[in-house]
Structure 1
Amino acid sequence: MKIISVLSINKLGKFASLLVALGILLLIISGAWNYLQDMLQVRANRSNAMQVTKQVFPDQVVPAMAPDFFTEYRLERDKIRSERSDLLREIIQNAPTQDTKQQAQETILKMTLEKQREVEMENLIKAKGFADALVFVRDNSVSAVVKTTALTHEEVVQVAEVISRISGIKPGDITISAKP
């Protein structure tokens, strides 16, 4: 009788861990989906993004600041990561099992390492003479957006070499695009 109870408790613990891990995965997917939807909405609403609330006279000079894609994306990326980290920290504090805590801690560590590698790659790409760059690290691929009107073959090779060296991803799994 005791053997059956212990087996049932072990199965229940594994099931709870599986549910928590599935919940984490669903939250990450949901966050990514919401982010993509928000980015599409932002692009669609840029024409109506600013309204004049103050009358401007001809002798006054008001500099126009266009939103910068690279700055906006970094802010949004940091916001999403912060929200994910907060959620994972909550899971760590309230986790029913040590296994669940460890999975959440590993996810936080992975996110931190991804962020660190992305920043390192972005800075090295800028050191190659580009005005700005964004790098997105995924499990088996990397995407980069470089601030320039066009990229030559040599520039693509330079950027891919930097990304491959830091990330360990093969050049065939790296996507590089230009955005002015």
Structure 2
Amino acid sequence: MNMIIGKKQIILASLIVGLGIAVYVNYQFAQADGDLTATNALGEEKSYGDAQLVDAQGNTIDASDGEAYFAEAKLTRERSRDEAVETLAQMMQEADVDPDIKAEMSLKAVELAKSIETEGKIENLIKAKGFDECMVYYDTENVDVVVKTEGEGLGTDQVAQMKDIIIKETSIPVENISIVEIN
């Protein structure tokens, strides 16, 4: 029994060993992480496609109810903003208010104006992506988006587009962005 090991046998053996190592490494990564993506490899923990979608406890709202919701929501938002601005203006006009408190109130007024501008900008950018109607509620820690959808609802790519717009316009982390669908 003369065993002569040739080049073909060496190449075949090394390919089998390489395949075995690849399978083992794949198995280890699948157990440890579950999902190895480019963002995880870079150390960035953001995933724009993970959506927290809410559709009014499983109830569907028809188009006329959806339109009524958006009309009422805009009216309510405007009323609350007007009340906040009026309260700030009254407090600023009082003569016996400490100058430090007046400065703080003027900062709050500027913050409110920036918030209103940011909400409007985000709403317009989302509408430019093809959505009929949307409302954005923005504060320093959270962004809530209510969007009117047709048919199947939002796809992960649409959610990613909205989150991308919000991230570009604000400094809110992805986990503090919520999107609510209204059919």
Q: Secondary structure at the match of 1:75?
A: helix
Displacement of 1:121 after TM fit?
0.1
Tell me which residue corresponds to 1:111: 112
Larger mean CA deviation between 126-135 and 137-146 belongs to 137-146
Query: What is the distance in 2 between the residues matched to 1:108 and 1:74?
Result: 20
Q: Distance in 2 between matches of 1:96 and 1:115?
A: 26
Bigger-Rg structure (1/2): 2
Mapping of residues 1-180 of structure 1, within 5 Å = 68-94=68-94, 95-149=96-150, 150-180=153-183
- The structure with the largest helix share of the pair is 1
Long gaps (5+) in structure 1? 1-64
Secondary structure of 2:81 counterpart: helix
Distance 1:96 1:145 in 2: 39
Q: Alignment identity in percent? A: 28
Offset at residue 116 of structure 1 (A):
0.4
| Cα separation, 2, equivalents of 1:128 and 1:72 | 23
Give the deviation of 1:70 after TM superposition. 1.1
One-letter amino acid of the structure 2 residue matched with residue 97 of structure 1: D
In structure 2, list runs of 5 or more residues that go unmatched: 1-63
The answer to whether the 8 A contact 2:140-2:172 is kept is: no
| Contact map agreement 1:126 1:132 (CA 8 A) in 2 | yes
Q: Letter of the aligned partner of 2:147 in structure 1?
A: V
Are the aligned partners of 2:145 and 2:178 in contact in 1 as well (CA < 8 Å)? yes
| CA deviation string 1:25-49 (max 9, x = no partner) | xxxxxxxxxxxxxxxxxxxxxxxxx
TM-score when normalising by structure 2 = 0.60
Higher RCO (C-alpha 8 Å, min separation 6) = 2
Alignment TM-score, normalising by the size of structure 1 = 0.61
**1:106 alignment partner, SS class:** helix
CA distance in 2, matches of 1:93, 1:156: 44
**What is the Cα deviation at residue 72 of structure 1?**
1.1
- Segments ≥4 residues shifted beyond 3 Å: none
Aligned-pair distance for 1:177?
A: 1.5
Cα deviation per residue 1:80-136 (whole Å; 9 max; x = unaligned)? 111110111010011521011111111111111101000000000000000011111
Deviations 1:131-155 (A, max 9, x none): 0111111221111011114111111
